[in-house]
Amino acid sequence: MNNLPNNQDFEVSAQELKVNRYRFILQNPKFSKWQIIMTRRKTRGQGVAELVGALVLLVPIVLTAIDLGILAIGAAINDSICRDAARAASSGPPSEFSLADSRNLTPDKAPYQRALSVATKLYSTSFPAKIRNTLVAVETIRDIPPNSTGGAIDGEVAITTTIDVYPPFLVGAIMGGVSLSSSHKVPITYVMKAEG
């Protein structure tokens, strides 16, 4: 007769092996109660340790990604503010009806005031950023048509705006606020009316 065991004797599930291991430990008198408890916790403790290790790495990465996203949104808002302010500054009459190459505009000039009013009124949001109330405005006028005929003024207005973005998490804690600048140059669209 064949005394060799058949294959069915060796087919045991992983759960049965685990249960049999615990039974062996419990029935064996040389194992202490502490060793039995530690044997049961080993399988659960390893997963918790891996979870904590992963969270230690992932949480700062996620917080930094959120901060960088807020910086990107702040840059997009500043770019939009600058573009709209430049359009507003170039839509009206220039500060002076004389030829000029890169004339800096002061806050008392009309193009500067138009740009500043658009920048401060249009984008008041609860976003963690603040547009600065000072901007840089430069006006260039290459040609002014005669008063008798009127026509379009050949020139451009360049506006530079700055926004201070305050990321709420790691980037903000390390660097504080981040200043971002944007500059747009728009041709003057004002058309002089003919006199007479």
Q: Is residue 177 part of a domain?
A: yes
Q: Is residue 37 part of a domain?
A: no
SS3 call for 174: helix
The number of C-alpha atoms within 13 Å of 132 and in the hemisphere containing its C-beta is 16
Spatial distance between the Cα atoms of 192 and 36, rounded to a whole number of angstroms:
94
Q: Identify whether the C-beta of residue 159 lies closer than 8 Å to the C-beta of residue 85.
A: yes
Q: Is residue 115 part of a domain?
A: yes
SS3 call for 9: helix
pLDDT per position as a tens digit, 150-176: 999 999 999 999 999 999 999 989 998
Q: Is residue 156 part of a domain?
A: yes
Q: Is residue 36 part of a domain?
A: no
What total of structural domains would you count in the chain? 1
Q: So what's the pLDDT on residue 106?
A: 95
The domain containing residue 57 runs over which residues? 47-192
Q: Is residue 65 part of a domain?
A: yes
Using a cut of 0.85, tell me whether the model's pTM lies above it: no
